[in-house]
Structure 1
Amino acid sequence: MPRRPARPGALKDLAPLRIVTQIALLQLAYYVVAIVLIAFVMVVATGQRPEAKHFLDWRELRGDVTTGWTLGLCWMLDSLVTVIPILLLIARSKLVTDFALTIHFLHLVITSLYVRAFPTTIYWWLIQTASAGLMTGVGIWACRWRELQPMAFGGKSSKGKQPANGHAVDVNAIEEGEGSGSRGRDGAGTYEMVSMAPREPA
């Protein structure tokens, strides 16, 4: 049975170097946003000086202290802001889940290496699960919204169209039913309005 030919551009989208580059950029954006949010909140809200442990130590995410809840909120906001680079770099809804889970898996590896221990607190896992779910859900919605946007060809639209005979056609007039016909909403063509004779009673 002959194999179905690949979609044009599919090999380019799945190139290993391209995927690695996208992952690296998304991970960098994820940590840059986290550093800005956590540093700002730690200085303004708690009056503490931000340290590396606030970003990479999973033991700081605790549910019994105010700092832990504050860091958890920062990580949730981070996942929401990271949707923007996902939309710009990925822009395909079916790939959002893979990249979102990859970001959180790499964060798990980095935090485990920093502490030299696997995360064991339930609160940390709850934050990471909620963060991954938020990033995936909002990212898929944003990418689908972008995919459904109409594509404009030619870069210019006007109310009148210039056919081959040199006479301009007013599209608005056609859509409103002016003249001998009416254009459908899909723009497929004009439809002539035909009057129907009243039916004689039997």
Structure 2
Amino acid sequence: MKKLTGSFRYTQWDPWLIIFQIVSMQCVLYTTIVLIIAILGSLIGEPKTLDSIFQYHEIQVRDSGGIIVICSFVINAGIGSILMWYIVERTKQCMDFSCTWHLIHLIICWIYNEQFPTTFSWWALNVACATLMCVCGEILCLRTELAAIPLSLGPKTDL
């Protein structure tokens, strides 16, 4: 089932690998967003709950609590790009995994709120974070993919 594509790697369809990568990304990104919100919330003395992550009305710039939620999501998008670099390792798949994480987040928010998110701030933040995660992840993965491939493992000799 392996086939040679236009790149230097053999590719193989492995649904279990993709499922485990998606589950890993979800678990680690939700863990980091909880930690970031908890740390930033404790800095200003404002306790945070799950509503900060899933309640789309929490995303606003009118008070410090909303700004903390926005900053937490942006920081988490940066962490997500680094995770894609380690977990996914493929430039071509960064957009897929970024959109998958945010689509699953949309579904969870929809279930949590019992209604579809309709606020502009929620959509703007999630589109911006998905874009940031995708682009930064692609840049990191591309740097690794374009690194020089050593052709020999022996010692260098000058001729």
The superposition leaves residues 72-93 of structure 1 with CA deviations (integer Å, 9 ceiling, x where unpaired) of 1110110001112101111111
1:104 and 1:60 map into 2 onto residues whose CA distance is 17
Matched, 1:10 2:3: no
- Amino acid across the alignment from 1:111: C
Q: Which residue of 2 is the match for residue 98 of structure 1? A: 96
**Residues of 2 paired with 1:104 and 1:50: CA distance?**
21
Aligned residue identity for 2:114: R
| Partner SS for 2:98 | helix
Q: TM-score, normalised by structure 1?
A: 0.71
Aligned to 2:47: 49
Say whether residues 1:78 and 2:76 are aligned partners: yes
Using the TM superposition, give the Cα deviation of residue 155 of structure 1 relative to its aligned residue in structure 2, in angstroms: 5.0
Contact map agreement 2:74 2:129 (CA 8 A) in 1: yes
Computing the radius of gyration over CA atoms, which structure comes out larger, 1 or 2? 1
Could you report, residue by residue, the CA deviation over 1:40-95 in whole angstroms, capped at 9, with x for unpaired residues?
Answer: 001112x1222111122112112322211221111011000111210111111111
Which aligned pairs between 1:156-175 and structure 2 lie closer than 5 A? 157-158=155-156, 160=157, 171=158, 174=159
- 1:143-174 per-position Cα deviation (integer Å, ceiling 9, x unaligned): 1000011223565643x2xxxxxxxxxx1xx4
Any unmatched runs of 5+ in structure 1? Answer: 161-170, 175-202
AA aligned to 2:51 is K
Q: Which has the higher contact order (CA 8 A, sep 6+)?
A: 2
Structure 2: which 5+ runs fail to align? none
Match of 1:66 in 2: 64
My pick for the range that moved more, 51-60 or 124-133, is 51-60
Decide whether the 8 Å contact of 2:91 with 2:142 is kept in 1: yes
Q: Distance in 2 between matches of 1:31 and 1:108?
A: 13
Residue by residue, what CA displacement relative to the aligned partner does 1:9-37 show, whole Å, maximum 9, x if unpaired? Answer: 422xx311111110000111111110111
Distance 1:31 1:6, change over 3 A: same
For residues 106 and 135 of structure 1, the distance between their equivalents in structure 2, rounded to whole angstroms, comes to 15
**Residue 118 (structure 2) pairs with residue 120 (structure 1):** yes
Counting matched residue pairs gives: 154
CA distance in 2, matches of 1:34, 1:125: 18
State the one-letter code of the partner of 1:150. Answer: A
SS at match of 1:91: coil
Do the aligned residues in 1 keep the contact of 2:46 with 2:65 (CA within 8 Å)? Answer: no
Cα 1:57–1:157 change in 2 (3 A) is farther
Q: 1:72 to 1:156 in 2, by over 3 A?
A: farther
**CA 1:123–1:152: 2 relative to 1, 3 Å:** same
Calculate percent identity across the aligned residue pairs.
23
Q: 1:101 to 1:153 in 2, by over 3 A?
A: same
